[in-house]
A = this chain, B = another copy of it.
Amino acid sequence: MENQVDELVRFFKALAEPNRLRIIGLLAQKPQSVEQLASILRVGESTVSHHLSKLGEAGLVSARAEGYYSIYALHTGALAGMAKKILHEETLPGLVLGMDVDSYDRKVLATFSDANGRIKAFPVQEKKFLVILRHILEEFESGMKYSEKRVNQILARYSADTATLRRSMVEHGFMEREGGGGNYWRVEKKTQPHIEGEPDPAR
């Protein structure tokens, strides 16, 4: 079974060379022989043969034998198909399948946690402190209400400074509390796709 990434790389590699792009342009006009393409591009026939084989592997062209000629033709459908694939919203997320996308978070947690999982020190850098907060947030269930006492109990598993943790959770919008200060609950995280030009809301 082949990787999504490998397939795309083969396709883009095939098009990432000037003479191969020119061959695509020439074959878009009409099917042509290796000899004709070599003459127009002013490169050796073995070079053209090499390029055509790469284009063929990417599914962009194919040859038809005619006497001792090989007449190559463009698969316009392959280009169009890939263009649509790029536009398809499932393609980009598919590129990161099987990748360890939480590797950075784990590294930060490892740096600031001791063997028991308790916080050794609060990171000065906000970006890293947020990693810690999000990690601890997992202890709280969505839809549940927690008394301040209960919240402190849970936070105490990570640090004696429960006040800082509690306040930070609220300040960064991870948790909310009822009016006077009775009950706390975890804020639903809305999965927000990045919108071009917008500042990153997740930072």
Contact = CB atoms under 8 A, between A and B. Distances in A.
Contacts of A71: 200, 203
A8 B12 CA distance: 11
Contacts of A93: 25, 28-29
B96 A87 contact: no
A135 to B, nearest CB: 15
A126 to B, nearest CB: 9
Q: Copy number of this protein in the oligomer?
A: 2
A100 B22 CA distance: 11
Interface stretch (A76-84, A137-145, A152-160, A166-174): A76-84
A38 to B, nearest CB: 9
Nearest to A31: B200
Contacts of A84: 83, 87
24 contacts: A5-B18, A8-B21, A9-B18, A12-B12, A12-B13, A12-B15, A22-B99, A25-B95, A25-B96, A28-B92, A28-B93, A29-B93, A29-B96, A29-B194, A30-B200, A31-B200, A33-B127, A35-B104, A39-B107, A42-B103, A66-B203, A74-B196, A79-B87, A80-B86
